[in-house]
Amino acid sequence: MKVQILLACILLFNLSCGASDLGALGSSAPSHELFDQLLKKHVTKEGMVDYQGFIKDKARLNQYCDLLSKNAPDRKSWSEAEQLAYWINAYNAFTIKLIVDNYPVKSIQDLHPKIKIPLINTVWHIKFFQIGGQDASLDEIEHKILRKEFEEPRIHFAINCASFSCPPLLNEAFVPARLDAQLDKVAVAFINDLKRNKINRDKVEISKIFSWFKGDFTKNGDIIDYLNQYSKVKINPKAKVTYLDYDWSLNEK
């Protein structure tokens, strides 16, 4: 009996050490204060990014990215808001790191692998960071986590792909306590942004984001129904809808 108890204790000790080494399950959500400070310092209110400023602050950016890497969400103990804020910030922080580590670049698309296969092997599929000890990519965060696990189309206005036509990068970190208000803020800002969407009562020329991810926006109506939730111009339900060309140039200040 004593031997069995001893073996059980050893097993529990090894399991606890293994979980700690992985760093995959943070008992509590990490603070996003450091990222918030960096965004306020290096991103304009219009969402343009001072990448050279981030380069000067690279040590602090890496510190925040390391914090994310070692504190992946625990789906059992973290609230949905804590998880969602974490993944949005992770996508944005690691995208900035990707540009900073490869600067200067004219476009994130300059970083595609030599053999580019659309939807299979692109810059977004490169596993250049880790989450909880596992190699990870931006594509996984966006499509396998944010879009798959959360029925929240506003994430498309919150994550930024370092390109001009992307929804502007918010110059503050997303935080659980204000997440819903922040998501509403970026939705209103993007949809009414005349540089990225041209909305009139009877005709709308909108971002290709609404075409690429149409299914995310039309679960409770058509695309005009969705736009009308946030548009300052009331759109006619029968308005003509077309999509604008996408500008992949770097969103640099």
The pTM score is 0.89
Mean pLDDT across 51-60: 98
Read off the pLDDT of residues 126-160 as tens digits, 9 standing for 90 and up. Answer: 999 999 999 999 999 999 999 999 999 999 999 99
pLDDT of residue 119: 79
Q: Is the per-residue pLDDT at 7 higher than 80? A: no
* Mean of the per-residue pLDDT values of the chain: 91
How does pLDDT run across 196-236, given as a tens digit for each residue?
Answer: 999 999 999 999 999 999 999 999 999 999 999 999 999 99
Q: How buried is 118 (Cβ within 10 angstroms: 0-12 exposed, 13-18 middle, 19+ buried)?
A: exposed
Tokens matching residue 238: 């029968």
Task: Give tens-digit pLDDT for 27-47.
Answer: 799 999 999 999 999 999 999
pLDDT confidence of 15, banded at 50, 70, 90? very low
Say which residues have a Cβ less than 8 Å from residue 121's Cβ, sequence separation at least 6: 113, 115
Measured between alpha carbons, how far is 172 from 91 in angstroms, rounded to an integer?
14
66, amino acid identity = D
* pLDDT > 90 in the chain, percent: 86
Average pLDDT over residues 240-246: 98
Residue 63 has pLDDT above 70, yes or no: yes
What's the pLDDT at 90? 98
| Residues comprising the chain, all counted | 253
Cα–Cα dist 173/38, whole Å: 9
Residue 22's closest CA among 34, 14, 12, 32?
14
pLDDT, residue 26, reads 56
Residue 242: how many CA atoms within 13 Å on its side-chain side?
A: 7
Predicted local confidence at residue 25, as pLDDT: 57
Cβ neighbors of 127 (< 8 A, separation 6 or more) are 135, 136, 137
Q: How many CB atoms lie within 10 A of CB 33?
A: 11
